[in-house]
Structure formats: C-alpha cells, structure tokens
C-alpha cells in the first residue's frame, strides 16, 4: 500500500476501482489535404459541429448544475468564435501548405504560447485549458473521431487522469463515479468546480499518480481535511476495513446533520450568527434551501450576463431578482452588482484586452465606467426590492469615492423610476465587498457610509499576499490561515462594529470548519457559505462557546505563521 498526497478540491471519503481516463488519439496525415476551398469547407463544418456541441452542453449543465458550470462552455463558445483565431487559421489555409487539422493546431499553438507565457494567474491558466479543449474539439470533428466521455462507467469508479478538461467531464456518469484524482490542476480547475457541485470527493495536484497505477488497482480517498488530501493505492485488507467503517460513519454523520438545517445557528452562550448561502441563480437558491438556507449572502449576478449573447435588459434582470427574493419569504438577499473582468468575460460587452485582468477593469471599476450598463442593473434591483429584503453589494471597492459614485448612481436610478411612476425602493441597504487591502484599511470610512461589509476572502487572500492559488508553482504561498489574513478580517470587523454595522465573510474560508471558530471570534457576524455545508456549520456553531472563540481568535491572530495557527486551531477547536 502506498499513500500519496494532493490538494483538496472537494471534501469527502470514497473508495473504488481505478478508471484511467485518457483522451482520444487525434492523429492525422498532414500531407493529405484538398484544395483551400475544400479544407475551408471542412473547417466550417467542424466549427459548426463544435459550436453545436458546446451549446448543447452549456444548456444541459446550466439546468442541471447551475449557471456557474454552464458558464465554462459559454466562455469556450466565445473563444471558438474569436475573429483573431479564425483569421489565423484562414490565413494558413490560404497558403495551401497545410491541411485544416494542421492549420488549427498551428494557430492554436501560437495563441497557446501567449497564454502559457502569461500563466502566472488563474485567468490565463484557465484560458489555456479552454484553448486546448477547443482545439481538441475542432480536431475531433475534422477527423470524425467519437468523443471519449465519462458517460458510462462501471459502478464505484474513481476517475484518475493527468488533467480533466471541461469536455471530459461535461456529461459524466454521476451515478457510478465516486471521486476524482488528477495529476495536474489547481483549486479553481474545472474538475474542482464540478466535484463541489456534485458533492463528490476530489483530489487535484497529485503528481506522479498515473505512474503508480494500472486499471486493476483500487484507491481510497480521504478528503476530510479541507487542504491536504490522502490517496491510498491498493489499501490492504486491514486498511480497507478501517476505511469502510470510516466512510460509513462519515456519510451517516452527513445524513444525521440534515436534521440541523432548520435550527438556529447560535452558540452555547447565546451569540447568534447569521448563516447564508452563496448562489449564482434561482436554481441554485432552490438547491440551497434544501440544505436549510434562509438567506443569501452572495448572489453572483454575472451569470445572468454570461449565459446570453446579448446584455440582459432591465425587465429580464428584474424578473430574476424579484423571483429570488420572493422565494426567500422575507429572508435577506444580498445581490452583488455585476462583477466581470478578471476571470469572467461577457460576449456581449467588448472590453479591451488586459495584460493582467485581475488588476484591471473589473468589478465596481467596470460598472462606473459603463454607467448605462450599471444603471440598468440598479433600476432592476430597486424595482425588485419592493418584494423583499434585497441588499445591494458593490465588488472590488478600493476607495470611498467609488462607493459615493455608486450611491449617486443609485439616486439617479431611483429618480428615473420615480419620474416614470414605476414602483421601487429608493434606499435599500448598500454594502461593500472587502477584497482589496485598501478596503481593509478604509473599513472605518466605508462602514460609516455603507450599511455592511462582506469579506471575499478568496480575492482578499490573493491580493493581500500577492499570490494566485491557480498557479500550481506557487500554490503553497496561498496561505488562507496567514496571520495577515486573520488580522485583516479582525480590523474590518472591528471597524464595522464601531460604526454599528455588521461584517460578513462570503469567501471559501467561511465554509472551512477549522476557520469558523476563529472567524466568529474575530467579530464576524455573518457567514455566507457553500450550500451543502450549511447543516454541518449550524451543528458546529451550536457546539461553540463565543467567549472561547474570542480567546482563540486573539491568540491565532497574534501568531507569526500559518503553520502555527493551523496546529493551534486543530488542537483547540471542534472540527
């Protein structure tokens, strides 16, 4: 028996038979080519077939898993239609020296090298993965090769691959797959997104595992720790028995925790924590409510824009926001205004190419630059706010002036609606998403002018530590429990409390059981989490003592390293 370690992409426990996944061979003879017109026609047919496949996958997955996963294929469709890519291939065909397959590979290789050179951030890493996936899809259609998918696997399969692209996992057999392991990939990879959506244990970044396996091997995945996962290769009989008992206990506990979903998240000594869900669509909300969600701490509105070839108008947006808040029956719905840029592109909105999009025109900056786009969304939000407790949150704020500009546009939107006699709420609570170091240091001023703050710890960690977790080369530097992060959270929460406002956390840290006691102790009032974790987080909060959490937080924030913090918390807290 051998044990390998990897990164936790999605928690859980699973054991089963290895299914070695390999992509189909796409070999061709470059000397076999027709006239430029014939090759161009073949290419057009392959493009049309590829586009149709992507559209079908996008629509299917948007309905079954939500807009977040469907967006992956919307982004690929956009890249497939890119005029520069098409022109690059067309120019090579006109030279009459390459067949369509070779022209596609040559053109995509050129662009792939550009993305590879810029692969220091997750945006370009994912674009490179998408580019490779698109290239494979076009070649497969040119060659008439059937797609190899995970749609029909033996029961109890654990899929092991070097890397999984979106098309590899799109239509997978959800009944028979028990988990994933990949050699490559980071915590923001497509397989990680998919596994979380399906509550399947998944391990990424496990180099060398393919060299250790054959198709007859078995695996056991222990992915209970939210950071490091253990992969047991061919566990012996004693380990199998031990693991089977562990697996039964783990999933029995998860079932038992479902009874907690309707209880109040209140500590033993009476401290009530507001617990909310992160969603990207009304469908996500329905799923979150099945886990006990009473409110939403983060509604990502960008998926409304990403799923359409045209920008959604005011009426379309209003209907979605109104439907969501009505379904909450009085519960809080925090809607984040359009947050594109960075790793999200909108086909209907032409934006300049940026060398570093994560430091570019994104979030509130983009909305303030495109006022008409922003005002349309704000009017829809104000109209929907008459149906329930809608609160508006602005992303990527780094200056008080940005908040003031956004508030002025709220006033303009309200005045416009009033002049037309359209029912609306002119003054919904307004909040700021704290994701930049600047917002941390300005939390006092921001909470004086706003109604609340919510900390997006994913980006806050990235910007505060100057490291991107999507980059496998430096993933160890993405320290979610860094004392610097804890101190930033504490500073923000104290500033909010001083001004009589509340502070929340809506990043992945809010779902981590090791972090929850220290977040509460730092003064966080609200946690917005991945829906599937709601029952176990309610159970954990109800087992905590607030005064003890405060002691833990004070000691943890005063430590020097992440390693010290994690050892301390694992020893002292309920996990």
Alpha helices by DSSP H, 199-273: 237-257
Q: Is the dihedral of CA 556, 557, 561, 563 positive or negative?
A: positive
Give backbone dihedrals phi and psi of 484, rounded to 5 degrees, phi first. -65, -40
In whole angstroms, give the CA distance from residue 339 to residue 321.
16
N-terminal to C-terminal alpha carbon distance within the chain: 28
DSSP state of 223: E
CA–CA gap between residue 229 and residue 9 (Å, rounded) = 9
Strands (E), 265-366: 274-279, 296-300, 333-336
The CA-based dihedral angle spanning residues 123, 129, 130, 131, taken in that order and rounded to the nearest 10 degrees: 110
Measuring CA to CA, which residue among 81, 70, 76 is closest to residue 171?
A: 70
Distance CA 112, CA 222 (A): 35
Three-class DSSP category at 349? coil
Give the separation between CA 270 and CA 253, rounded to whole angstroms.
Answer: 25
Strands 12-20, 218-223: pairing kind: antiparallel
User: Given the DSSP bridges, would you call strands 390-394 and 157-161 parallel, antiparallel or unpaired?
Assistant: unpaired
**Phi and psi of 126, rounded to 5°?**
-70, -35
Nearest of 438, 371, 467 to residue 411 by alpha carbon: 371
**Four-point Cα dihedral 476, 12, 275, 501, nearest 10:** 0
Indicate which residues carry an active-site annotation. 190, 506
Total Cβ atoms within 10 A of residue 225? 14
Distance from chain centroid for Cα 123: 12
DSSP states along 506-535: -SGGGG-TTTHHHHHHTT--EEEE-GGGHH
Distance, in Å, from the CA atom of 454 to the CA atom of 452, rounded to the nearest integer, reads 7
């Amino acid at each position: 028996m051998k044990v390998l370690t990897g990164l936790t992409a999605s928690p859980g426990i699973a054991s089963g038979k290895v299914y070695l996944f390999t992509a189909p061979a796409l070999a061709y003879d470059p000397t076999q080519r027709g006239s430029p017109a014939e090759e161009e026609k073949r290419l057009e047919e392959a493009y049309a077939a590829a586009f149709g496949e992507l559209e079908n996958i996008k629509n299917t997955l948007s309905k079954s898993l939500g807009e977040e996963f469907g967006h992956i294929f919307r982004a690929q469709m956009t890249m497939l239609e890119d005029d520069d890519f098409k022109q690059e291939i067309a120019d090579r065909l006109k030279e009459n020296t390459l067949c369509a397959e070779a022209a596609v590979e040559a053109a995509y290789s050129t662009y792939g090298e550009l993305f590879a050179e810029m692969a220091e951030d997750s945006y370009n890493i994912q674009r490179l993965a998408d580019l490779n996936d698109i290239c494979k899809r076009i070649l497969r259609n040119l060659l008439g090769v059937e797609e190899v998918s995970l749609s029909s696997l033996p029961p109890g399969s654990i899929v092991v691959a070097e890397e999984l692209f979106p098309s590899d996992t799109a239509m997978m057999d959800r009944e028979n797959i028990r988990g994933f392991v990949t050699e490559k990939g980071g915590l923001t990879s497509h397989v990680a997104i998919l596994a979380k959506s399906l509550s399947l244990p998944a391990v990424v970044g496990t180099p060398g595992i393919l060299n250790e396996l054959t198709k007859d091997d078995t695996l056991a995945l222990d992915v209970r720790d939210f950071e490091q996962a253990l992969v047991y290769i061919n566990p012996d009989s004693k380990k199998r028995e031990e693991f089977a008992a562990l697996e039964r206990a783990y999933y029995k506990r998860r079932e038992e925790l479902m009874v907690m979903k309707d209880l109040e998240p209140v500590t033993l000594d009476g401290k009530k924590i507001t617990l909310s869900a992160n969603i990207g669509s009304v469908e996500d909300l329905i799923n979150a409510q099945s886990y006990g969600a009473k409110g939403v701490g983060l509604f990502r509105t960008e998926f409304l824009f990403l799923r359409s070839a045209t920008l959604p108008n005011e009426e379309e947006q209003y209907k979605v926001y109104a439907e969501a808040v009505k379904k909450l029956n009085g519960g809080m719905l925090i809607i984040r205004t359009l947050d594109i840029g960075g790793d999200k592109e909108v086909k209907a909105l032409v934006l300049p190419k940026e060398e570093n999009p994560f430091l570019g025109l994104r979030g509130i900056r983009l909305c303030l630059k495109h006022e008409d786009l922003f005002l349309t969304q704000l009017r829809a939000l104000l109209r929907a706010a008459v149906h329930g407790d809608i609160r508006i949150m602005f992303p990527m704020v780094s200056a008080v002036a940005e908040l003031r500009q956004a508030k002025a546009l709220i006033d303009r939107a309200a005045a416009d609606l009033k002049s037309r006699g359209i029912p609306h709420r002119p003054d919904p609570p307004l909040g700021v998403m704290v994701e930049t170091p600047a917002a941390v240091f300005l939390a006092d001023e921001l909470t004086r002018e706003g109604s609340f703050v919510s900390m997006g710890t994913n980006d806050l960690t990235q910007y505060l530590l100057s490291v991107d977790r999507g980059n496998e080369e430096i993933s160890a530097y993405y320290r979610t429990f860094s004392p610097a992060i804890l101190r930033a959270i504490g500073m923000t929460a104290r500033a909010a409390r001083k001004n009589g406002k509340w502070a929340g956390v809506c990043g992945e840290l809010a779902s981590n059981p090791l972090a929850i006691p220290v977040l509460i102790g730092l003064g966080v009032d609200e946690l917005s989490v991945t829906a599937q974790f709601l029952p176990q987080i309610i159970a954990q909060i109800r087992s905590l003592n607030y005064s003890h959490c405060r002691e833990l937080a004070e000691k943890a924030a005063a430590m020097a390293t992440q390693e010290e913090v994690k050892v301390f918390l694992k020893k002292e807290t309920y996990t």
